[in-house]
């Protein structure tokens, strides 16, 4: 069984009917890179950049971040690397951010909301990302989007960062720019959002939480936390339809992407990419090639 899986390493991820799926890996730090390559991932679909902030006692510097991103891009040798911008708050609290305690942090001050409120922090990360972009195939993705205005504002800040890099004589490459679809609001306006970005990545962990009104961190509700709920399937359907109507691709990077019992559905709904923990890559490739 193991040997059979190993043989799938360099192979394409394509169904018998010829539908090609991009199979990427989720990682939480540079330490996972070995697993990514060992398991034959075609790229990185979600690099949770929080780790740099979580393991530090103060805001990581531009240089620190640049080195980390450069290493990931170089190690992946030209394969696609999607780095998600900072997603703290909620379940990931960091002392030096000085965030106030909240009654309901999942619905609180987090992710892109913090980044837009504190552009100094956001710009440092974006500068590091763009400087690293010349070392590989970088895409940038923003979490927790609920409105087109947020996307516009993020794009303005990106333009400011690029202008500043130009002034400093620093090189950068053009990158794909995408957003996570992990709020019901983003699903409902995905037709509008698709006109503003290069790709969508559906974050089913949060999308399940917000759609079902079930705290993903509350073990008492584990039985009710059902990412197979028909409401979720319809949300994925709407998002994929709106993405494709507007000529952009759409992936799924929540835990649902690695659930082999739902792969048929995700593929038939039209997902172009699945991004999963490295250990799921080969079993998922096997599954899709048999479909």
204 binds ligand PEP (CB under 6 A): yes
How far, in Å, are 30, 71, 210 from residue 134 at the CA level?
A: 18, 12, 37
What stretch of H or E contains 230? helix 230-245
Asked if residue 73 lies in contact with residue 136, where contact means CB atoms within 8 angstroms, the answer is yes
Does 205 count as an annotated binding residue? Answer: yes
* DSSP SS3 for 174: coil
226: which DSSP letter?
-
268-271 contacts, C-beta under 8 A, 24 or more apart: 269/233, 269/236, 269/237, 269/240, 270/240, 270/241, 270/244, 271/21, 271/202, 271/236, 271/240
Does 84 count as an annotated binding residue? Answer: yes
Size of the site for Mg ion (CB under 5 A): 3
**Minimum CB–partner distance for residue 2 and ligand PEP (Å):** 28
Angle, helix 230-245 to helix 204-212, in steps of 10 degrees: 120
- The interface partner of residue 204, options being Mg ion, ligand PEP, none and the CB cut-off 5 to 8 Å by kind, is ligand PEP
- The interface partner of residue 48, options being Mg ion, ligand PEP, none and the CB cut-off 5 to 8 Å by kind, is ligand PEP
Joined tokens for residue 92: 């990931």
253 is catalytic: yes
Chain centroid to CA 194: 16
Size of the site for ligand PEP (CB under 6 A): 10
Candidate segments 54-62, 115-123, 197-205, 240-248, binder of ligand PEP by CB under 6 A:
197-205
Which residue has 């835990």 as its token pair? Answer: 255
Which residue has 């190993």 as its token pair? Answer: 6
Does 2 count as an annotated binding residue? Answer: no
**Minimum CB–partner distance for residue 206 and ligand PEP (Å):** 3
Query: Rounded to whole angstroms, how far apart are CA atoms 279 and 264?
Result: 19
Asked if residue 163 lies in contact with residue 130, where contact means CB atoms within 8 angstroms, the answer is no
254 binds ligand PEP (CB under 6 A): yes
Joined tokens for residue 10: 């360099």
- The interface partner of residue 246, options being ligand PEP, Mg ion, none and the CB cut-off 5 to 8 Å by kind, is none
**Minimum CB–partner distance for residue 206 and Mg ion (Å):** 4
203 binds Mg ion (CB under 5 A): yes
In this complex, which beta carbon is closest to ligand PEP, that of residue 204 or of residue 258? 204
In this complex, which beta carbon is closest to Mg ion, that of residue 40 or of residue 178? 178
**Residues 163-192 interacting with Mg ion (rule: CB under 5 A):** 182
Asked if residue 77 lies in contact with residue 40, where contact means CB atoms within 8 angstroms, the answer is no
Of positions 32, 206, 272, 273, contacts Mg ion by CB under 5 A: 206
Site pattern 51..90 for ligand PEP (x: CB under 6 A): ------------------------------------x---
Does 216 count as an annotated binding residue? Answer: yes
Query: Rounded to whole angstroms, how far apart are CA atoms 249 and 270?
Result: 10
136 binds ligand PEP (CB under 6 A): no
Query: What residue numbers does the annotated binding site for phosphoenolpyruvate cover?
Result: 48, 84, 205-206, 216
Query: What residue numbers does the annotated binding site cover?
Result: 48, 84, 182, 205-206, 216
Query: What residue numbers does the annotated binding site for Mg(2+) cover?
Result: 182, 206
Catalytic positions: 253
């Amino acid at each position: 069984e193991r040997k059979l899986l190993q043989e799938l390493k360099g192979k394409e991820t394509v169904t018998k009917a010829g539908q090609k799926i991009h199979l990427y890996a989720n990682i939480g730090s540079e330490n996972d890179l070995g697993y990514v390559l060992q398991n034959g991932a075609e790229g990185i679909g979600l690099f949770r950049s929080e780790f740099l902030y979580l393991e530090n006692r103060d805001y990581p510097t531009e240089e620190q971040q640049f080195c980390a991103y450069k290493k990931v891009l170089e190690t992946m040798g030209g394969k696609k690397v999607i780095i998600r911008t900072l997603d703290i708050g909620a379940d990931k609290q960091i002392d030096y951010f000085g965030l106030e305690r909240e009654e309901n942090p999942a619905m609180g001050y987090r992710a892109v909301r913090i980044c837009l409120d504190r552009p100094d922090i956001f710009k440092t990360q974006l500068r590091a990302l763009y400087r690293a972009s010349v070392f590989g195939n970088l895409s940038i993705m923003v979490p927790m989007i609920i409105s087109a205005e947020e996307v516009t504002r993020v794009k303005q800040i990106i333009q400011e960062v690029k202008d500043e890099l130009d002034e400093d004589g620093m090189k950068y490459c053009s990158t794909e720019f995408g957003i996570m679809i992990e709020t019901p609001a983003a699903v409902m306006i995905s037709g509008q959002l698709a006109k503003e970005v290069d790709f969508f990545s559906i974050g089913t962990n949060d999308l399940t939480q917000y759609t079902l009104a079930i705290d993903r961190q509350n073990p008492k509700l584990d039985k009710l936390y059902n990412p197979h709920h028909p409401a979720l399937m319809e949300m994925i359907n709407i998002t994929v339809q709106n993405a494709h109507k507007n000529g952009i691709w759409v992936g799924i990077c929540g835990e649902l992407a690695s659930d082999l019992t739902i792969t048929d559905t995700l593929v038939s709904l039209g997902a172009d990419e699945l991004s999963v923990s490295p250990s799921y890559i080969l079993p998922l490739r096997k599954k899709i090639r048999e479909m």
